[in-house]
Amino acid sequence: MSASLSPRVHGLLSLAAFAVIAALATGRPELALMAAPFLILGGAGLVAAGQPCLRVEVAVERTRLLEGEVVAATVRLRNEGARAVDVDLAPARTSQLVLEPSGSLAVHVSGNDEVEVDFTARAARWGAHALGPLRVRARDPLGVAVWEGTLGPRVDLRAFPREQRLRELVAPIRTRPFLGSHVARSRGEGIEFADVRPFRVGDRVRQVNWRATARRGALQVNDRHPEQSSDVVLLLDTFAEARDQASGTLDSAVRAAAGLARAHLARRDRVGVVDFGGTLHWLEPAFGTRQLYRIVDALLASDIAFSYAWRDAASIPLRVLPPGALVLAITPLLDQRSIALVTDLRRRGCDLIVVEVSPFDHIGPGPSASDAVAYRLWRLQREELRARLQALGIGVAVWTRDGSLGPALEGVNAFRRSARHALPV
């Protein structure tokens, strides 16, 4: 802890100097006597002051919570020195972690004594929030010397995003030959009826369609679509975001990504994540509950990283984008690099969906009349961009803050049915 003199010492010395100068100027020794108490007080404080020996422990009710939830925390402050100290405690705060009581906590700790301070913390936003080490400012009882520093262990609160609950998902065009919940285009063992065809050696009796057989006079069997799983890659655009004081498009994007990951993993799909922005992070596709926790942990670290570096689809490792994977790009379409990426991926034959997190919920028109005109022009330009992406066969789901993601994805399914000619086969 770094030691310094309190401003009170400067004040005491100033007052003493003033009294001495006044005594010299007026030739009255009584005034010099008045300086003596200040000098004695300051000197006594300096002599009595000693480096405090403080220990801080932070106990939190739990370290994993959902955004918006509140946890109780206790700071245990132990003074291992002989002298009493006044201490101001300030947990390391971020704007996303709201503490109650707010501000610094002032406590008095006697020598060889211990005090406990209780407070609550509310995670206003998802992410990993550091609660501690605490900033500590200790003063001796006379308020002459001050020691400042950080004490205590680092305690991370991991606030998970509140997910979008999704019932309908975008059906992938290609599937993997493993059991899942998507009706495949191919034919094989399954539930969904596909066609009737003549009997071939090896067909099972239970596949025979007796009505069609009776009508045609030869054995006919039913073909079915198998239920298979697919590979899904969530592409999170962290190049830029639109943000107001309360929230931003990245917040919504992470919620959407967590919800999509959970829904696809529940359908036995392999899910991977690519955090595509100023820095590139990825998680290879895998399945299961463990993968869900990995994905959510990876999403908590997502942040907008400003960068001038140009990145394109070649920056993404091939093993992260398996052939035939359904790529869900969650983006506000605010950066030219992310627009170029989705265009590039589509031109490479990727089965691609864009979940456009609308920036209009967070950004309004500027104050002047010309700004309002520019805002209208921006809206029209984004509509044109959306139409350009759809012309390439990219389904675009526009997700606004007030709406649910499910209906937007249903709109994409309808688009993919009508734009089948533009999609990869």
Partner 1 sequence: MTLLAEIALVVLGGIALSVCLALLPGAPPGRRRSQPPVPERPSQLVALERLAITAGSNAVQAHAYLRPRLVEIASHRLVAHGQTLDRMPDALGRELLGDRLWEIVRPERPFPADRQGPGVGWQELAAMLDVLERL
Which residues lie near partner 1 (CB under 8 A)? 4, 6-8, 11-12, 15, 19, 28, 30-31, 34, 38, 88, 90, 95, 104, 137, 139, 143, 146, 240, 242-245, 248, 334, 359, 362-363, 366, 369-371, 373-378, 380-381, 383-384, 387-388
Give Dmax over CA atoms of the chain in angstroms. Answer: 135
Residues in contact with 167: Cβ distance below 8 Å, sequence separation at least 6, in sequence order: 406
CA–CA dist 269, 263 (Å, integer): 9
Residues in contact with 315: Cβ distance below 8 Å, sequence separation at least 6, in sequence order: 276, 280
Contact 165, 259 (CB under 8 A): yes
CA–CA dist 320, 168 (Å, integer): 25
Structure tokens, 292:
């869900």
Contact 147, 105 (CB under 8 A): no
Measured CA angle at 220 (ends 216, 223), to 5 deg:
135
In terms of DSSP H, where are the helices of 190-311?
210-216, 249-266, 289-300
Contact 164, 404 (CB under 8 A): yes
C-alpha dist (Å) from residue 183 to 141, 222, 226, 238, 394: 75, 16, 6, 33, 21
Look at residues 159, 148, 155, 160 and name the one whose alpha carbon lies nearest to residue 74: 155
**405-418 and 249-266 helices cross at what angle (nearest 10)?**
70
Minimum distance from CB of 374 to partner 1 (Å)?
4
**249-266 and 289-300 helices cross at what angle (nearest 10)?**
170
Q: SS3 for 344?
A: helix
Structure tokens, 47:
């002599």
